[in-house]
Amino acid sequence: MATTTKEYDFSSIEPKWQAYWAENHTYEAKDFEDKPTFYVLDMFPYPSGAGLHIGHPEGYTASDALKRFKKALGFNVLHPMGWDAFGLPTEQYAIKTGTHPAITTKQNVANFTKQLSQLGFAYDWSREVNTTDPGYFKWTQWIFMQLFKKGLAYVDEKPVWFCPELGTVLANEEVLNTPEGPRSERGNFPVERRPIRQWVLRITEYAERLIAGLKDLDWPDSTKRLQENWIGRSEGAEITFDVAGHDSQLTVFTTRPDTLYGATYMVIAPEHPLVASITTAENQAAVAAYVEKAKSKSDLERAELSKDKTGVWTGATAINPVNGKEIPIWVADYVLMTYGTGAIMAVPAHDVRDFEFAKEFGLEIIQVIDDGGKAEKDADGGLIEAYTGPGKLINSGEQSDKDSESAKNAVIEQLAADNRGKATINFKLRDWLFSRQRYWGEPFPVLWLSQSNYDLVDDSLKSVERPVTCEVDGELLYAIILPEAELPLELPEVESYTPSPDGQSPLSKAENWLHVFIDPATGATSTEAQDGWVPAIRETNTMPQWAGSCWYYLRYVDPKNTEALIDPEKEKYWGTPDLYIGGAEHAVLHLLYARFWHHILYDIGVVSDPEPFKKLFHQGIILGEDGEKMSKSRGNVVNPETIIESYGADALRLYLMFLGPLEAMKPWNTKGIEGIARFLRKTWRLVVADDGELQLKIGQSDALDPETERVLHATIKKVTEDYSSLGFNTAISQMMICINQLAKTEALPREAVEDFIKLLAPLAPHIAEELWQRLGHEGSIVEAGWPKYDESKLVEDSVKIIFQVNGKYRGDAQLPADVSKDDAIAAAKANERVQGFIDGKTIKKEIYVPGKIVNIVAV
C-alpha cells in the first residue's frame, strides 16, 4: 500500500486513507469493550439538495479531531452520524417536481455522505440513522404512544400561523417579520392566523423540571439563560375580575398583586374568546376591524416594546375585586393569547408599557407605590414615567403603608378570602403544537372513532389517563392508538403532495389508507370490513420535523434493535453523549424538546438519567469574506469541495480550526489557507526527501538537543491540553513552532518525528497516516497511542536576558536559566554594545529582573 510519491500529493493520499478507514472499520465503536467510553455527538444535518456548506465542517472537524484524540488515548469512542430528513423543504420539492420525497432524500443523503467522507470524517457508519427510515420512526411513533398513554397528548383548535402557498401550519420561529407583514421563512410567502385542529403536547407539565434540570448542566450560560427565559417561570397571583353586566369573568396573572389598587383598565388579546360577547354594539365595527388587522402581525412584532401602542375599547368594563371600581376593557395586540391567560390588568403608574398605553389613550393613572422622591414628576405632581421600583403602598385601602414586598402576600390573602384570587406560579412556556398538515412526516399512530364505536372497544385500547377527543362537522370523535404490533405505520402513496386549500394534509385524500376497520378487542386494523369490527379513520396530520430529532442520540447506541428503542445494557454502557456540539440557534427548540422527551423516557424507565446532554458546546459561525453571513443572495458562500480540490481536506480542516477560537464568529479568508498549506508541505518535507525516501537525518541521533527537546515536550503538553479543551487554534500555533524547530535540527531521533506526527493526526489525519506508514509502520496511527511529555524536559536550560542602559534596549545574551545577579550584570557589562553606552559614565544603579532583564543606570 505504501507509495514513493516525492511531493505531497493530497489528491491521491486523502482518498487512499478514507478508503482504508472504511474498509478496516477503524472507527467503529464496539459495545462493551473493556475501555473507558467517550460519546461525542454532532447535531445531525438536514440533507438538503444544496449539499454541505462551510459551516457544517467547522463543528464536524472539531468533533472528528476530538474523537481521534480520545481513541489514541485509549478510549472506546462512539461518534456516529445520521440524517434529520423529514420536513418541509423536501415536500416542497416533491410538490414542484412530482418526485417522491423518499427518492429526493436518498439522493441528498448520498451526496452528503460523499462530502463528509471527502473531508476525512471517519464516522461510525454502521450506526447511521435516518428519521425517515420506518425502522427508526417506528420508535418515534412508539414514544408518541407513551405520551398519549400518560395523558400528555391532546387535540385542540389553536390559532396558528398558516401559509396558504405552502399549505401548512408554521411555528412562530418559521415566520419572518417584514415591512410587508409576516411571511414564511421558506419561500417568503404571506402567512395568516387560522384556527386549525392540532395535536398538542403538555410540555408545560414538565416546566418546573426543565428549569431545575439546567442547574447541573455544563452548558454555555447564555444557552441556559435562553431556556430559562423561554420557560419563563414567575411567581405571582391569579386574579379574577367580573365583567360588569355579564356572567363572564376575566382571569389575569400578575407578579405585582401589590399594585392591584392601581389597576385602571384591562387589556385582552384580539384572539380572546370573550371579545365578541362583551363588545358593545356601538364598538363592534371598530373592534372587528382591529382584530382582523392583528391577524397579520407576528407575535414577535406584537410584543415589541418600542412599537407604537394601538388598541380599541370594547365598551365593556370589569370590576376591580379589591375596591369594586369599574375599569374599561380594551383590546390591544401587545397582549398575546399564547402567554398567560390572554388578559392583563393594567397598572400604568408602575408598568412601562401600560404607562405608554394610558398616555396614548388618555386613561387614568393612579400611583399606588410611593417612589420616595425617586421618580420625576410634572408640575401637577403626576408621574412623567412609570415607577417600577419598590416602596410603601399608597392609595391602597387597608393595604396602605405596607411595603410592597409584604403587601404582595397580604393582597393575595385578601383575594383568597373573597374567592377572587390565589398565589400561583406561571410559565411563559406554552404547550407544544405537535402536528403539521403535510405529507412528508411521521404519521400519527392514532385512529378516530365515533362515540358509539368508541364505547364498543376494550378499555385497554383507550387512553389510560385522559380521553382525547375532537369535534369534526359537529360530531364528537374519540382517539385510540394503534397496537404496537402495527408499528411502524408508514405513509401511503398519494397522487398529490399539495395540502387542500382549507389546510388539510394530503393524507386526507388517501382513501384506501384513511378508512379502516378495527377489532374492538385487540385494536388490530384492516382495510376490509370484518365481522364485529368497527369503522375508524386514521389521523391525517403528521408529526413536525422536531419529532425525529428529539431522541436520535439514543438510537445511535442501538440502531438495529427491532424489539426495543434501546437495549438497557447498552444504554448503561454508553450513557448519554459526553459532549454535544452544534449551533446556538437550537438553544431553545431542539434542545428543549429533546430534554422534555428524555425526561418522559426517564419516567417510564427507558433511560437511566433524566438529562440527555450533560456537556454542550456551540461552535461559532463562519462568515463570508465580506464579514457578512454566508448566503446565495450575497454571493459569498464558500463551497468546501472547491477548497478540497485546491488545497486538500487536511488543509481545510486545519484552517477551519486555525481561524480563531472554536466558539467565536470569524470571517473566512481564502488567502489565509495558503499558510496552512505551507505548514503541511513543511511537515511532509520533514519526513520525505526529494527522492521520495525518508529524510537522512531521521534516526541519525538517539537524542534531541536540549532546546529542541524542550520545544517538543512543551508541544506535547500544550496540544494535549488544548485538544481536551477544544482549543484547536492554539494547538496548531504550537505545532507550527515545533515543526520549525524540528526542521532546523540537523539530526532527529525517529521517536521525536513520530511523536509530532501523532500530535498532528487528529486534525490532519490523511497526511499523518501517510507519513506514519512511510516511517515503516503498519496499521492506523490512531492505534499507536498518544505521546507523553516529561515535565522535567520543560525546564529551560538557558534564558534570553535583555540588556538595557537607562531603560533602553542595548543588547541581549542567552545565559544559564539559574544565572546569578552578579553573573548576569557582568555579562551585560561585557557586552560590546552596552560598553559603548556606559564607558566614561558613573553607574548609579544596577537592576536585575531574574531571568529577564539587566538594566544599568549610568550618568
488 preceded by cis ω (within 30°)? yes
Whole-angstrom CA distances from 494 to 87, 94, 181, 324, 723 are: 17, 11, 34, 61, 51
Give the residue from 817, 816, 820, 829 showing the smallest Cα distance to 848: 820
Give the residue from 252, 293, 249, 246 showing the smallest Cα distance to 270: 293
**Coil, strand or helix at 274:** coil
Q: What is the DSSP string of 469-507?
A: EEEETTEEEEEEEPPGGG-S-PPPP-S--PPPTTS--GG
Count the neighbouring beta carbons within 10 Å of the beta carbon of residue 360: 12
Give the residue from 745, 750, 680 showing the smallest Cα distance to 710: 745
Cα–Cα distance between 757 and 652 in angstroms, integer? Answer: 18
Whole-angstrom CA distances from 307 to 303, 362, 434, 777 are: 8, 18, 31, 69
Answer for the pair 857, 837: CB distance below 8 angstroms, yes or no: no
**Coil, strand or helix at 240:** strand
Nearest-5° Cα angle at 367, 363 to 369: 150
Contacts of 102-110 with C-beta under 8 Å, sequence gap 24+, read 102/132, 104/49, 105/47, 105/130, 105/132, 107/49, 108/47, 108/48, 108/49, 108/51, 109/47, 109/83, 109/85
Answer for the pair 354, 386: CB distance below 8 angstroms, yes or no: yes
Answer for the pair 786, 703: CB distance below 8 angstroms, yes or no: no
- Ramachandran quadrant class, 776 (left: phi over 0; alpha: psi -120 to 50; beta: rest): left
Cα–Cα distance between 170 and 189 in angstroms, integer? Answer: 12
Q: Tell me which amino acid residue 36 is.
A: P
Bridge partners of 650, per DSSP, are none
Q: Tell me which amino acid residue 4 is.
A: T
In sequence order, the 6+-apart residues with CB closer than 8 A to the CB of 283 are 312, 313, 314, 315
In sequence order, the 6+-apart residues with CB closer than 8 A to the CB of 737 are 711, 715
Dihedral sign computed on CA atoms, order 250, 255, 257, 259: negative
Answer for the pair 332, 361: CB distance below 8 angstroms, yes or no: no
Count the neighbouring beta carbons within 10 Å of the beta carbon of residue 700: 12
- Residues comprising the chain, all counted: 859
Pairing of strands 579-582, 37-42: parallel
**Coil, strand or helix at 520:** coil
In angstroms, the first-to-last Cα distance of the chain is 73
Answer for the pair 102, 93: CB distance below 8 angstroms, yes or no: no
Residue 293 annotated as binding site: no
Measured in whole angstroms, the distance separating CA 126 from the mean position of its chain's CA atoms is 26
Cα–Cα distance between 222 and 227 in angstroms, integer? Answer: 9
Task: Print the SS3 string covering 361-413.
Answer: HCCCCCCCECCCCCCCECCCCCECCCCCCCCEECCCHHHCCCEHHHHHHHHHH
Residue 681 is placed in which grid cell? 508541505
Q: Binding site membership for ATP: which residues? A: 632
Q: Binding site membership: which residues? A: 632
